[in-house]
Structure 1
Amino acid sequence: MGGPILMSLLVLLGSACCFIGGHPKEVREGCRCVPQLCPQPTACLAGLVRDRCHCCLECGNVEGQVCDLEGGQPFHGRCGENLLCQMDLVGLERGEVPQARCVCRNQRAICGSDHKTYANVCAFKKAQAAQAVGGTRNLSMAGSGPCRTAPEIKIPPRDQFNTSGQDAIFLCEVVAYPMAQVEWRKNRHNVSLPGDDPHISVQSRGGPLKYELSSWLQIEGVTLEDAGTYDCIAHNRLGRVTAHAQLRVMATGADRPSTVPSPHVLGDMSSEYEDYY
């Protein structure tokens, strides 16, 4: 009777080095491995990795998740497939407490069969795993690199109501591949802004995400003549898209407004203006 019980106790003691609170943990070198006692992980969006005892399989941490550096104390877990644990230097530059996070080893974009561009193979594999958890497996790789798409305006310019003398800024964010070109025009005219007008300027830069372009139209010290409709026009060789926004200007002093909206429109647009800034 004592033999089987004693053997069971020895097995449990031998595996105790790998399990604390039901989770695999490395507590000392050369811990014994009992595969029969390993938990069965499910719904792992970043694949499976070996625990610190190199015994059981567990879910790897996904991209951006806090992780344990090699040789450090086990706490947050190890990164999943195609991922590397690195210190977050961006957070360090912002004065934050530095932490190690999972970073995808390959940052090349992937075009999925759903016509969606994934930032890298890790994001693509995560989407595949999420589908599998939901009971479907339809997502496949359509090609290496981003999906070729006509421009799409993610954030269109918003209507504004300004008092003469104030500055007005319109924002337009566009996503496309190949990268789109963005133009600004007023009242459907064929001349692109700013033209030769010194109080109007246009600035564009990439971002905030890959294959996005942010463009701003700034009017310094608006006048009654600046009132009108402003168009953000984005185009590449695959297509063209336009978004519109209106600028209404209220005069100060003896000036008279070029456009006087009804009281409820004025109230709504004032709220939008406050929210925008």
Structure 2
Amino acid sequence: MWAVRGLLLVLVLVTAQSEPQPETPAEALLSGEGQPCVRGAGPRCGPGLECFRADKKSKVGVCTCKSTHEVCGSDGVTYKTPCALKSANDRRDQELQPEPVTAKGKGRCPSAPLIVTPPGEVYNVSGSQVYLSCEAVGVPTPVLTWNKVVNGGRKKVELLPGDRDNLAVQTRGGPEKHQATGWLLISPLTEAEQGSYECHASNSQGATSAVGAIHLVQSLEDISVKRVLKDEEL
């Protein structure tokens, strides 16, 4: 009899340990990022969060991350804040994914260049001023160069500042936004400058390019005609 009672007691203890324990009252009151919080008695923000109130006199606010910098995760994804990375790990726990995401470093993850604003097509008369522009993003900040496409696309000639008196090449980079913008300015426009131009963006992660064009027309009236024809082709 005593042996049976002992066995039943062991089974009860094992079952109790295997069942999930309910949250304590303190844990239940903790709010996550983006959830409401109340000053004084009420839901409080969890670890790494603070209660932000747009109106300082208001008791109700929203839980926001104390750290506002971006974080590069071990999964290659850039998270807006360390709290966003923590939320991703919480979701992984719920989905029973074994490998947690760790922070590889502060800031965005390295990425190959992406041209977000390619050079377009310009139509103008001889002697006018024309320009092409190009914008690319990437980590590290991409380096932009311009090439003249010749021989039906079989050859590319890099354009450098000071190559010709009527040609100017400018670039501007933004390390914080990892964005680079480049301009190709021609003034005055001659027949030799019409043709295709390539915007080339590169960094340590890769390279990409996009092509624009400059067209020489006989008169200003031809500009609108050429544009209409181009739109009809599209």
TM-score by length of 2: 0.62
Where 2:192 maps in the other structure, the secondary structure is: helix
Q: Contact between 1:148 and 1:178, CA under 8 Å: does it hold in 2? A: yes
Where 2:136 maps in the other structure, the secondary structure is: strand
1:201 and 2:187 equivalent? Answer: no
- Which of 138, 148, 171 pairs up with 2:110? 148
User: What letter matches 1:189 in structure 2?
Assistant: K
Equivalent-residue separation in structure 2 for 1:201 and 1:122 (angstroms): 46
User: What letter matches 2:66 in structure 1?
Assistant: N
- Which of 47, 52, 56 pairs up with 2:43? 56
Equivalent-residue separation in structure 1 for 2:118 and 2:111 (angstroms): 18
Equivalent-residue separation in structure 2 for 1:150 and 1:173 (angstroms): 14
Give 1:208 shift. Answer: 9.0
1:171 and 2:125 equivalent? Answer: no
Higher RCO (C-alpha 8 Å, min separation 6): 2
User: What letter matches 2:144 in structure 1?
Assistant: V
- Which of 44, 51, 58 pairs up with 1:74? 58
Q: Which residues of structure 1 form unaligned runs of 5+?
A: 1-34, 84-103, 273-277
Could you say which structure has the higher strand fraction?
2
Over the aligned positions, Cα root-mean-square deviation in angstroms equals 4.4
Equivalent-residue separation in structure 1 for 2:214 and 2:228 (angstroms): 16
Among the aligned pairs, what percent are the same residue?
27
Q: CA separation of 1:166/1:124 partners in 2, compared to 1, >3 Å: closer, same or farther?
A: farther
Q: Contact between 2:74 and 2:102, CA under 8 Å: does it hold in 1? A: yes
Equivalent-residue separation in structure 2 for 1:135 and 1:208 (angstroms): 37
Q: CA separation of 1:201/1:116 partners in 2, compared to 1, >3 Å: closer, same or farther?
A: farther
Q: CA separation of 1:214/1:159 partners in 2, compared to 1, >3 Å: closer, same or farther?
A: same
Matched with 2:205 is 238
Give 1:49 shift. Answer: 6.6
For residues 75-224 of structure 1, the aligned pairs below 5 Å read 77-82=61-66, 104=68, 107=69, 109-121=70-82, 124=85, 128=88, 140-141=101-102, 143-145=104-106, 146-187=108-149, 188-207=155-174, 210-224=177-191
CA deviations 1:99-130 (Å, max 9, x no partner) are: xxxxx2xx3x322355333454356457x399
Aligned residue pairs: how many? 198
TM-score by length of 1: 0.54
Equivalent-residue separation in structure 2 for 1:227 and 1:130 (angstroms): 57
User: What letter matches 1:166 in structure 2?
Assistant: S
User: What letter matches 1:182 in structure 2?
Assistant: L
Equivalent-residue separation in structure 1 for 2:90 and 2:133 (angstroms): 34
Give 1:185 shift. Answer: 1.2
Matched with 2:196 is 229
Equivalent-residue separation in structure 2 for 1:156 and 1:136 (angstroms): 43
Q: CA separation of 1:246/1:186 partners in 2, compared to 1, >3 Å: closer, same or farther?
A: same
Equivalent-residue separation in structure 1 for 2:80 and 2:148 (angstroms): 35
Matched with 1:27 is none
